[in-house]
Chains A and B, each alone.
Chain A
């Protein structure tokens, strides 16, 4: 059975009141689920539909449209490396390869110890400080292979 913390439920109830349309609470609710569980499972959608009184189909419509919602489990350190043009020009794609090798994981998959997922993503708005990565919520810029590995290793989650 899927569960959300009491404060999580309270947060979602407040979000339902916050905007002119209650549907606007779907994105914040999905973020909250992801914050507590790391991803949004089909069970979580059923749970949200129930407490928000919004059809599952409408929640799924939002969940599946936006790339920031994880529809399968990810590592505790979710590493997203920008590979759009300015970053590709400055070694973004090679950085993905290097990180995958360093943490012994394939792109988009979770490392055996459950710690790391490395994904190539589209532009993160950090083009002047390429290559860069986002680990969970934070940006790390002007990276090289060594500094990126070091940052991920040292990060406490």
Chain B
């Protein structure tokens, strides 16, 4: 069953505008937040167990707690650089409920003592950015942004910044480099952005869905928020389901929800006559699950980690038996090679070689030893770089090859796909 907490009013057009948003309870929690002590809000977010919804799943309240108390100005940055293949939930949130994001951000800014925030939106999201921009204008006019918000004495300015096409800017330090007007290359951590972030100042970077969820932690209280989800994966989550299902789309369900229910109930199952082959449960960087592994998988951080994959951004890519795993991996490796920022050798070279090797197999020019070479190259890319992109390319490669090795071997031996009707597509 869907559990619409964040998305309860997404079907109403008026919800996109200030009046409509207020009609459905909008900005009431901001007023309540101003009656609280900022540190109590941070504690409440910690106790609620909210974890980052962008991909890494880091506890939000803990992240906020890292801010140093040194009197430096602090920045809040919303990561709306949604680029993880398979993910399209932040776009929905910005298009349907821009004020929800703004309210969540003002509350979060108040809790963390920040007087300036940026919403960094990927450049291709021209329309969502326009919707958010109009909402910010509305909020300024209504005294919800700027000086002395709602008479609270709290000042906060908010602006948007458009990226220009780079997956790596979804990585928080890459995003900050980009926001600073440079190429979006990630920075070595530590120091983490909470200590030295935007222009060297303490900065909190949170995903769109994470910031919006803060509102409902205040509204429902820790217990109310924890009514959904599991002990370690609290609350609801938006899942973007795509691929071979009858009804792809965004679905908000409690964390811990069975993967097969999501596919069969919410998404209408597979197309007639098709069998499930595999699912990528958390965006293209998440190791693939076999159909067998999907049977008892639940959509929470622990279960998917236990299965050697991850919840990631909540992008569920469902693959039926019409897909060739060699072909699919060639698409993914092309992507990571294209998006590697190039500063770390294992990633720059590794993604290049993985792309070349997988494509040579998909062209029918592979050698049997190339299959182990994929694993060897991928192993050497893990944990040796500044950011997680290298691992994000290596892990899917390892999972595809080790779980569907027969398809790779067949392709090498026969020079063609084991799956009927699949031929090599030049990228």
Contact = CB atoms under 8 A, between A and B. Distances in A.
Contact of B323 (A21, A23, A28, A89): A89
Most chain-B Cβ atoms within 10 A of its Cβ — which of A62, A66, A124, A127?
A: A127
Nearest to A83: B427
Given A68-B164, A84-B284, A122 B85 contact: yes
A19 to B, nearest CB: 7
A71 B339 CA distance: 18
Contact of B180 (A21, A30, A67, A130): A21
Interface string A28-53: 10110000000000000000000000
Interface in B172-206: 178-184, 198-199
Nearest to A30: B164
Interface stretch (A110-118, A134-142, A146-154): A134-142
A88 interface: yes
Nearest to B118: A19
B323 A65 contact: no
Most chain-A Cβ atoms within 10 A of its Cβ — which of B124, B165, B241?
A: B124
Contact of B88 (A18, A58, A125, A137): A125
Interface residues of B, number: 56
A61 B185 CA distance: 11
A18 B84 CA distance: 29
A18 B179 CA distance: 12
Interface residues of A, number: 44
B240 A65 contact: no
Contacts of B184: 65-66
B83 A66 contact: no
A88 B165 CA distance: 19
A30 to B, nearest CB: 7
A125 B121 CA distance: 12
Contacts of B124: 68, 124-125, 134
B99 interface: no
Given A84-B284, A85-B328, A127-B242, A20 B199 contact: yes
A12 interface: no
B167 interface: yes
A8 B203 CA distance: 32
Most chain-B Cβ atoms within 10 A of its Cβ — which of A24, A64, A130, A134?
A: A24
A4 interface: no
B127 A66 contact: no
B76 to A, nearest CB: 14
A23 B198 CA distance: 13
B82 interface: yes
A138 B166 contact: no
Nearest to A18: B159
Contacts of A30: 164
A68 B83 contact: no
A126 interface: yes
B332 interface: yes
5 contacts: A61-B182, A66-B164, A85-B85, A89-B319, A93-B425
Given A19-B159, A120-B427, 11 more contacts: A23-B181, A27-B162, A27-B178, A66-B164, A83-B331, A85-B85, A122-B167, A127-B88, A127-B242, A127-B243, A130-B248
Interface of B: 82-88, 90-91, 122-127, 159, 161-167, 178-184, 198-199, 240-244, 248-250, 280, 284, 315, 317, 319, 323, 327-328, 331-332, 335, 338-339, 341, 425, 427
